[in-house]
Structure 1
Amino acid sequence: MNIEVSSSFKAQAKKAIWAIVLFFVSFLLLIIVGLAIAALLIYLAVQIVKHTPNFTTLILAFGIASSGVILVVFLFKFIFQKSVSNTDGMREITKAQHPKLFQVIEELAAQVATDVPKKVFITDQVNASVFYNSSFWSMLFPVRKNLMIGYALVNASTKDELKGILAHEFGHFSQRSMKVGSYVYNCNRVIYSLVYENNSFENSIEKFSNGHIFLKVTFLISIVIMRGFQWVLKKLYNILNISYLSLSREMEFHADAVATHIVGSDTMIDSLLRMDLADKSYNSVIEFVNEQYAEKKKISNLFSLQKDVLQFFGELNNLKFKGRYPLVTIEEIDQYQKSRLIIKDQWASHPTTGERIKKIKTLNIKKENPNIVEANVLFDNTTILEEKLTDLFYNDLEDSSLEQINLNEVFNAYKAYYKTVTFNKEYNGYYNYKNPILEPSQISEVYPLLTFEELFSDEVMELVNSYNALSSDFNDLKFLTVEDHVIKTFDFDGVKYKKNQAGHLLEGLNKEKEVLEAKIQVHDEKIYHFFLQQAKLNDALPKWQKLYDIYVYCDKLYDLGFEETQKLEKQLEFLQHDLNLDVIYKHLKDLKNIEEVYKKHLKVVEELPLYQEAINDDLKEIVTAYINHNSLYIKGNTWNDDSLNTLFSCLRLLPHIHSRLMFVSKKQLLDFQIDMIKVPV
């Protein structure tokens, strides 16, 4: 297969090639300068010993000569470094184990005109990728690639869709010009090695120089020169990366074209549009599994549950199905994407899903009778494989004494869990990203009562989604008014602007935002009055009012907890600095005063009945341990690690506790309102 690369691909490839040339020329000059400096230092060391031979000058000469050697080692250490891909969480599979899969892989490799993978790995992810161990020498000698297939992706794909995904991965290596990307990647690796991977190298220098003051001073020479070289390399890194990432986006379009010619436009588009839902469903399974793990329970097969959850999510979203696979449309994705602001992300390695679909549509490649057979038919003994991958997931967890949930009960257990972490679907998503009105006592106007359906209609959701998008655009434009970024231009409402024009748009956008905000405020007041009347009609006013009060109180506690946590974190900033003991004790004295207020807040939270109900025992123990903790953070001249760990454990935990209380109080109120209106009046 020989697919003509686009003109934009060729243009980006040329830019990348020029960036590579610039890198090699600049780096060669740095090496020449570095070697000249090293030679000069070694010559100077020889002359010092030659003219004044004694022990002191020998140490000095040794330090100067070593500085030259260190500089040379620094410049050439990248040659010996190798980027080894991490295969933790992966399981290698072979042709003998899964012959049908490997037959497809071999057929695709032949169609795309590339080599078959060196090894094939299976993992639990919603992903597929080609990877390899790279070094400087891989630019000169070909390196065979490995293929990683995520079984959660297989589980959410038809056979043809999986073929398209694999063909996309092979497509990255189907054209000779694709090698440019590999060159740029390895040039980046060289720079990254020299600029950012120096901790162990510099630690070794520092440890070696501790033997004598002359060594410290002379080794400082090499450090200063290295810093200068790194400054130049950082500039090259930015140039090279921008060109590489622009090329990378074109490579994605090209790989899509390769895959589309094999499986057709519709199959590729269906697969791309389902990826977010597949990812969401599998992440939800993992969250459920983690929740069960906290209760000392486990499941035997992640992927059997994933199938059920994917279908469950499809039904929740009223999607059509292709076999057992939900069909997501671009319109369903676009209904939440109402942003009017477009900022081209020059640091993005992949184009957006919308951009990819647009390109695939233009190819318009039709395939008759697309195969909707499940992709896992390509694997043998799927149940055993799925259970082994599930075991691999649990291997990362510590507790092995877990009760296994009966396979027939797992999905019901999941649905019960899902109800506890989501708001009632009858609200039509209205409260997914906003709260009920927080200050009902300030409402004076009484509105004509609307029906529940009118209050939470699709038209109302359109208003909320527009406001959310507008708020996001406003914040992004505000960011553009700050000078410290590389963005030069942006599009708003289809018109191109320069970054210094962002401020002019903010005033008008803020007025729009205020208008929408006022409309939503009025609507929230109508909702409040609707449920107030329902509570009165159903003789449920005391219970409803109590739940409302708890929700408002938890919101205030959330804000207060955020403020107290910020104060404590600010006071703890002194731990990041190297201070003498007297200064440390002064900071600890100030810390004690702030901690007293912080602990008072924690005690208030502890006394909430909702806290006892909603927070698990392990988290409660951490909070109680910190409240009762009175040990010193420093003993003599050393830190008390146990005391510090107690403090930081609680500090990390409090935002989660407040979020949990806020969510549970909100959910209890919303659930009660739904139950209340279902009671016959």
Structure 2
Amino acid sequence: MQTNFTYPPMPLGVDEKIIRPSAAFKTEVFKVLGTIIFFILTYFTLVGLALGFAAVCIAIAVLLVFTITKFFTIMIGLGLAGLGLMVVIFMIKFIFSRHKTDRSGLIEVTEKDQPTLFAFIRQVTRETQTPFPKRIYLSGDVNASVFYNSGFWSMFLPVRKNLQIGLGLVNSVNISEFKAILAHEFGHFSQRSMKLGSYIYNVNQVLYNLLYDNKGFERALSNWGSASGFFSIFAHLTVGVINIIQFILQKVFLLVNKSYSRLSQQMEFHADAVAAYVTGSQHLVTSLYRIEAADVCFNQLLDHYKNWEDDNLMPDNLYPQHQVVMHQLGRQLNNPVEHHFLQINAQTTSLFHQSRLVVKNQWASHPSTEDRIVHLNSLNIHSETIQEPAWSLFKDAEKLQQQMTVKMFEEVVVAWSPVVLDLTAFRDKITKEEQDYSFDAAYKGFYDSRDITIFSTTEQAQQALQEVNAPNKLEDFLTEEACRLPAQVSSWQRDVEVLQKIANGKSGIKNLDFDGKKYRAKEVENILSELTRDVSEAQQKLKQLDIQLFQFFYRQALTQGKAEQLKSLYQQLFEAMKDTEGDEKFYESIILVLHPLFTQTLALEAAAVLLDELANREKNLKKRIIKFLENSTTQDHLTEKQLVKLKVYAQAEDPIYLEGETVNEHAVSYLMEMAKVFINLSTEKAFKVKKHLLHTQLTLLNTSQLKPEY
């Protein structure tokens, strides 16, 4: 089938050496092979010991029963035999487990459906010298990946790999970048070491089954133990033996996966080299930067619809709306949109990553984006850029986008008759939300995502009157350095938390980089002391800026007779902040009670104790909601639907969480839902009080005080 399409040229004169597996790559392959062999030896040793243990138990049981034939000895004999058999069953139970791959969220496409896409992909496979994918699937997200059926026979027979392309990714890149991404994936096609992935997959299936997928086995063990007091003793002994086996297997699990993680990182570097070889370095670099932002925006888009679920909304087409969210991010970052695409670079990402700490994640299957970009830039391969959107390769692109949108919102479509939101309505809606849930641009983000420091407004008002030669423009306070300070404090605080875990020896991390220098974990105390001091100093600077800005606005308010109004607004904010802090702690206490119910298999008595505590928490929640509703000011922050929902809950009878021996899951879910509604409203109330305060402050200024002079 003849198709015409734009195809980015392959760079000329590039040395093929760059796509040969490195020495580090080969080393990691041998290490992974070693860990797989070690697992096989360990597993069969444990199976042999389990069989030997079972044989001894059965032999003792037979000897006991035939030597002393009494009810007591017969029960002990049966218990011993059961102990041995249960251990053997535990070791081989993974053979009977079944795992079905869920592809319900994917759309398979054929060459008949998408001739241009297939022709494009075929050309990329020729250049990368890799086989054409067995199947091509489309997903809705911002991603691309290679996968294959990792069944038992895939460890021994050649298996053709499948290609998965996320339409969110297609929505975010041009043709040159799309080619680079596909070439990266086909770089994996060329790696014979990917077969090791099949071995690791099957090893992990066995280990996961033995370590974590034990509900059926635990149920059988419980039934056996409850059949008789005699059997109960042996059921407990079985648990003890299995705990020893699991302890050994957990160590093997860590060893196998840590080794494979290191190989996976080398495989990523090699696949990047393949992509650079056939497309040039810069196209994969720009796509890596933009894909991170595109993924964030795609998740924000889905979050919008999750937040609007009470309004029963769904998009007519996700992908134009995804672009709107990306362009919105561009405006917020003052980043240009060129050729319909948001331009992201290292300077942009540095705004979000102000950490002074670099810790290599020993479990990461991919290198960091920064490391990949350094590697790609070192290859320094240039080629022409084709700015045409990747969508131009897809036949009936809009129809395909709508089809994927319906698939992603299938549950909504089936359960309800949703209201479909078109692009214009969506843009209007999020523009209004952006206005409602952001602060005035004049503050340059200084007050975003943080609390204003609480201080005495009376004391600082008096201090404001004593200031001589104080700045009289907002710009004088909100310097570039000052506006970076909140994000800096937040990032450094996260660094402190990481360092504390390393200092406590709970992280398993042995080396780290701090401020560009390498340190060992045993040296972390000195770094922690230095960083804690720096955080404290930065917080003090932030507090001083908050106070100085209050004093600045207070002086403006005095000249207009609005000083007391400003002080009152600050007091309202501080009270709302304290209320929200208390509400958040209360919400966390509910989560703490619920956590064991969702994550552990509890005895009835233990579950009853937790559910009693949950009932007490619910009474407290209702009291807080009633107090919330009695406040006329608070009600101004509620929509009609929110008000009705809270009133219905507050007036409802207290639920029964334990009905006989069954947990009332509906009651627990309802409590969880209302706790979330309450904490969201509490947070929103504090935000709106803060927004009103900040907006009121700006009304006190004249134009010359808002804008800098040039």
TM-score, structure 1 length as denominator?
A: 0.89
Checking the alignment, whether the CA contact within 8 Å between 2:593 and 2:610 is kept in structure 1 is no
Please list the CA deviations of residues 450-508 of structure 1 after superposition, one character each: whole Å capped at 9, or x if unmatched. 41222223232234443333333333222322133312232223333333332233333
Q: How far did 1:358 drift?
A: 0.2
CA 1:533/1:320 → structure 2, altered by over 3 Å: closer, same or farther? same
Q: Provide, for residues 541-579 of structure 1, a one-character-per-residue CA deviation record: whole Å limited to 9, x for no partner.
A: 566555433322210111222344456667889988647
- Is the 8 Å Cα contact of residues 512 and 518 (structure 2) preserved in structure 1? yes
**Residues 64 and 564 of structure 1: CA distance in aligned 2, closer, same or farther (over 3 Å):** closer
- For residues 504 and 96 of structure 1, the distance between their equivalents in structure 2, rounded to whole angstroms, comes to 64
The residue number in structure 1 matching 2:675 is: 651
Paired with 1:595 and 1:80, the residues of 2 have a C-alpha distance of 43
**Amino acid in the other structure paired with 2:654:** S
Aligned counterpart, 1:476: 498
| Residue 193, structure 1, aligned to residue 209, structure 2 | yes
Please state if 1:441 is matched with 2:465. Answer: no
1:239 aligns with 2:262: no
Q: 1:613 to 1:383 in 2, by over 3 A?
A: farther
Match of 1:421 among 437, 441, 444: 437
Q: Which string of whole-angstrom CA distances, capped at 9 and with x for unpartnered residues, describes residues 43-99 of structure 1?
A: 455556766789987776666555544443432333454543322322222221111
Q: Which amino acid aligns with 1:388?
A: Q
| Aligned mate of 1:631, from 645, 651, 654 | 654
Q: After superposition, where does 1:325-340 map in structure 2 within 5 Å?
A: 325-340=341-356
1:456 pairs with 2:478: yes
Q: Choose which of 87, 96, 100 in structure 2 pairs with 1:84.
A: 100
Letter in 1 for 2:332: L
Q: Amino acid of the residue matched to residue 39 of structure 1? A: A
Q: Deviations over 1:201-226 (max 9, x none)?
A: 33234335654555555555544433
8 Å Cα contact 1:79/1:136 also seen in 2: no
Residues 184-263 of structure 1: matches in 2 within 5 Å?
184-207=200-223, 210-213=226-229, 215-218=231-234, 222-263=238-279
Residues 79-124 of structure 1: CA deviation (Å, up to 9, x unaligned):
4545433223222222211111122223333433433333222222
Give me the identity figure in percent: 28
Letter in 1 for 2:290: R
Taking the aligned partners of 1:332 and 1:109, their CA distance within structure 2 comes to: 33
1:485-524 equivalent positions in 2, closer than 5 A: 485-524=507-546
Q: Letter of the 1:393 partner, please give it.
A: M
CA–CA separation in structure 1 for the residues paired with 2:286 and 2:398: 26
Could you tell me which runs of 5 or more consecutive residues in structure 1 were left unpaired when the two chains were aligned. Answer: none
Q: Which residue is 2:386 aligned to?
A: 371
The code of the aligned residue for 2:108 comes to E
C-alpha distance in 2, partners of 1:400/1:238? 45
> For the residues of structure 2 that align with 1:163 and 1:521, how far apart are their CA atoms?
50
Query: What SS does the corresponding residue of 1:84 show, helix, strand or coil?
Result: coil
Distance 1:192 1:417 in 2: 44
Partner of 2:686: 662
Q: Is the 8 A contact 1:181 1:247 kept in 2?
A: no
1:516 and 1:4, CA in 2 relative to 1: closer, same or farther beyond 3 A? same
- Distance in 2 (CA, whole Å) between partners of 1:18 and 1:95 is 42
Question: Aligned in 2, Cα 1:631/1:286: closer, same or farther, shift over 3 Å?
Answer: closer
Task: Give the direction of change, closer, same or farther, for the CA distance of 1:218–1:514 in structure 2 (3 Å limit).
Answer: closer
Please tell me whether the aligned partners of residues 569 and 693 of structure 2 are also in contact (alpha carbons under 8 angstroms): yes
State the superposition RMSD in angstroms: 3.4
Q: CA 1:383/1:282 → structure 2, altered by over 3 Å: closer, same or farther?
A: same
| Shift in alpha-carbon separation, 1:512–1:80, aligned structure 2, 3 A | same
- 1:613 alignment counterpart: 636
Contact between 2:142 and 2:166, CA under 8 Å: does it hold in 1?
yes
| Residues 569 and 474 of structure 1: CA distance in aligned 2, closer, same or farther (over 3 Å) | closer
Counterpart mapping for 1:333-412 below 5 A: 333-367=349-383, 369-397=384-412, 399-412=415-428
Deviation at residue 595 of structure 1 after TM alignment: 6.2
Q: CA deviation at 1:278?
A: 0.9
Which letter does structure 2 place at the counterpart of 1:148?
Q
Instruction: Give the Cα separation in 1 of the matches to 2:208 and 2:27.
Output: 25
User: How far is 1:433 from its partner?
Assistant: 3.1
Contact 1:574 1:587 in 2 (8 A): no
Q: How far apart in 2 are the matches of 1:632 and 1:667?
A: 38
Among 12, 19, 31, the residue aligned to 2:28: 12
Normalising by structure 2, we get a TM-score of 0.85
1:243 Cα offset (Å): 0.8
- The one-letter code sitting in structure 2 at the alignment partner of 1:360 is L
Residue 346 of structure 1 deviates from its aligned partner by 0.8
> Structure 1 residues 625, 503: closer, same or farther in 2, change over 3 A?
farther
C-alpha distance in structure 1 between counterparts of 2:361 and 2:420, whole Å:
46
State the number of aligned residues.
678
Q: Distance in 2 between matches of 1:612 and 1:496?
A: 54
Asked if 1:156 is matched to 2:172, the reply is: yes
Secondary structure, counterpart of 2:165 in structure 1: strand
Give the whole-Å Cα distance in 1 for the aligned partners of 2:593 and 2:329: 45
Q: Which amino acid aligns with 2:193?
A: S
* Paired amino acid for 1:143: V
- Aligned partners of 2:659, 2:594: CA distance in 1, in Å? 19
Q: Is the 8 A contact 2:611 2:657 kept in 1?
A: no
Q: Which piece of structure 1 moves more, 183-192 or 640-649?
A: 640-649
Deviation of 1:390 (Å): 1.5
Return the offset for 1:32.
1.9
Q: Give the 3 Å change call, closer, same or farther, for CA 93–470 of structure 1 in structure 2.
A: same
Provide the C-alpha distance between the structure 2 equivalents of 1:372 and 1:134, rounded to a whole number of angstroms: 37
Please name the residue that 1:103 is paired with. Answer: 119
Q: Pairwise mapping of residues 497-576 of structure 1 onto structure 2 (< 5 A)?
A: 497-537=519-559, 544-565=566-587
| Contact 2:439–2:694 under 8 Å retained in 1 | yes
Q: Is 1:604 aligned to residue 607 of structure 2? A: no
The reply to whether residue 146 of structure 1 matches residue 162 of structure 2 is yes
**Partner-residue secondary structure (3-state), 2:513:** strand
Say which SS state the counterpart of residue 449 (structure 2) adopts. Answer: coil
Post-superposition Cα deviations, 1:585-628, rounded to whole Å, max 9, x if no partner, equal 9995x888776655443333223345323334554445434433
Q: In structure 1, how many angstroms separate the alpha carbons of the residues matched to 2:544 and 2:76?
A: 80
| Structure 1 residue 330, shift from structure 2 partner | 0.7
Tell me, yes or no, if the aligned pair for 1:428 and 1:457 is still in contact at 8 Å.
no
1:185 corresponds to which letter in structure 2? Y
Q: Give the residue type in structure 1 aligned to 2:210.
A: L
Q: 1:485 to 1:660 in 2, by over 3 A?
A: same
CA shift for structure 1 position 312: 3.2
Compute the displacement of 1:399 (Å): 5.0
Kindly tell me: are residues 217 and 585 of structure 1, through their superposed partners in 2, closer, same or farther at Cα, counting changes over 3 Å? Answer: closer
Contact 1:83–1:135 at 8 Å: present in 2 too?
Answer: no
Q: Secondary structure at the match of 1:130?
A: strand
Question: CA separation in 1, counterparts of 2:578 and 2:102?
Answer: 45
**Structure 1 stretch 469-478 or stretch 613-622: which is displaced more?**
613-622
Shift of 1:276: 2.2
Task: Give the secondary structure class of the aligned counterpart of 2:636.
Answer: helix
Aligned to 1:112: 128
| C-alpha distance after superposition, 1:398-419 (max 9, x if no partner) | 6533333454443233222222
The structural deviation recorded for 1:343 is 1.8
Deviation at 1:529, TM superposition (A): 2.1
2: CA distance, partners of 1:518 / 1:150? 46
Tell me if the contact between 1:622 and 1:649 (Cα under 8 Å) persists in the aligned partners. no
**8 A Cα contact 2:143 2:165, kept in partner:** yes
CA separation in 1, counterparts of 2:581 and 2:623? 15
Q: Report the CA distance shift for 1:675/1:12 in structure 2 as closer, same or farther (over 3 A).
A: farther
Work out the CA distance in 1 between the residues paired with 2:197 and 2:594.
Answer: 45
Q: Which residue does 2:10 correspond to in 1?
A: none
Q: Cα–Cα, structure 1 residues 234 and 101, in superposed 2: closer, same or farther, change >3 Å?
A: same
Matched-pair contact (CA < 8 Å) for 2:312–2:416: no
